[in-house]
Structure 1
Amino acid sequence: MSLPSILLIGMAMSTDAFAAALGKGAAMQRPRLPDALRAGLTFGVIEGLTPLLGWLAGVAAARYIKAWDHWIAFGVLALLGLHMVWHGIRPDEADIPPRHRGFWGMALLALGTSIDAMAVGVSLAFLEVNIALVALVIGLCTLVMVTTGILLGRVLGAVTGKRAELLGGLVMIGIGAAILYEHLGGAA
C-alpha cells in the first residue's frame, strides 16, 4: 500500500473523531490547548491501537478466506464509508456527543469513534501493508484532528463535523474501490 493511501486512511479514520471533537469543543467553555492536546492524545492512542487489534483478528482468519480477501476489504471499507456518509448527511442532533468529564468519558468516546479503525485493521490483514505504520499514521492523524477539532469546536460547531465525516466516508469508499480494482486488474 502506498504512502498516499496510508495517509488517506489516516485522515478518513480521524474524521469521526474530529466530528466528535468539534461537538465536545462546542460544549466546553473556552477549551485551552492543554485540554485539547490531552483529548487528542487519548483519541490518538486508542484510534492507533484499534487497527492493530483488528489486524490481529484478520491475520488469524486470513488463511481461510485468502481467495476472497480483496472482496472482503472492499466490502468492509465500502460499508464503513457508507455508514460515515449516512452519519454525515442525516440531520440528527443526537449525534452531538454529550459533555464528558474526565479521562474515562473521553476514552469511551474515543473507543466509540475507533470501531471503524478496528474494522479497517481486519481488512488490511488481507493486504501487503505495514500495519505498524498504518496504525501510527491513524493515531497521529487522530491526535492532530481531535486537538484541532476541540479548539475549533466553539467556532465551527457540529455542522462542519458532519461534512468532515461525509468526506471521510467518501474517501473510504474510494480506497475500497481502488483495492478491488488493483486486485481484479492484477488477476487479469
Structure 2
Amino acid sequence: MALSAPVCNFGWQAVDFALADTRGTRHTLASLRGPSGLLLMFICNHCPYVKAVIDRICRDAREVQQLGFGVAAVMSNDAREYPEDSFANMQRLANEMGFPFPYLHDETQDVARAYGAVCTPDFFAFNADLQLQYRGRLDASGRLPAAPGCRRELVEAMRLIATTGSGPREQHASIGCSIKWRTGSEPA
C-alpha cells in the first residue's frame, strides 16, 4: 500500500540519535551533519519505490554532499517480517550500490518514530541549524523512470537551503511503501 509523507513542518528541530551503519560505525546528528545541514532519508531494501529510484538517490546524495550537507539513510523496517531488509541485506545493498552515505540500522524503530517517518522513501532536509526545511519527494517520477527534463526537486530544495537556510514553500509529498512496524510498536 502506497502512502504519502506529511507536508514539511518548517523549523522542526532534528532529534538526536545514535545508530550503527552497515560497517559498524556509530553515527549521531553531530557526526553526520555538514556545514550546510543534513539530509536524512528513510529507505529500505525491498520497497519497489526505493528500488526504482535508488540510483538517483545515490547520484543526488553525491551532489548534495558537494553543497556541504551530511547525508545518511535509515532503515527502520521490521526485518523479521521483511527479511530482504535484514542487516546482512542492508550491507549487501550498500556495497553493491556503492552508497556514498552511511546506511543506518534503526532496529528499535525509535528513530523512525521520533522523526514521524511514514514511508520509504521519506526525505528530511535540515538546514545548518538542524531545522527541517524540506520534506518532499525526490522528483515527480514515483516508481517510473524519470522523464527527460524531470525536475530534481530534492536537489533544487537542497541548493536553496544551502544558500538561504530555508526550503521552498511549495513541496510535493514523497510517496512510497509504509514503514513496516513491528506488531505492537506502531506509532499512535
TM-score (normalised: structure 1): 0.26
* Greater helix fraction, Structure 1 or Structure 2: 1
* Greater strand fraction, Structure 1 or Structure 2: 2
Higher Cα Rg, which structure: 1
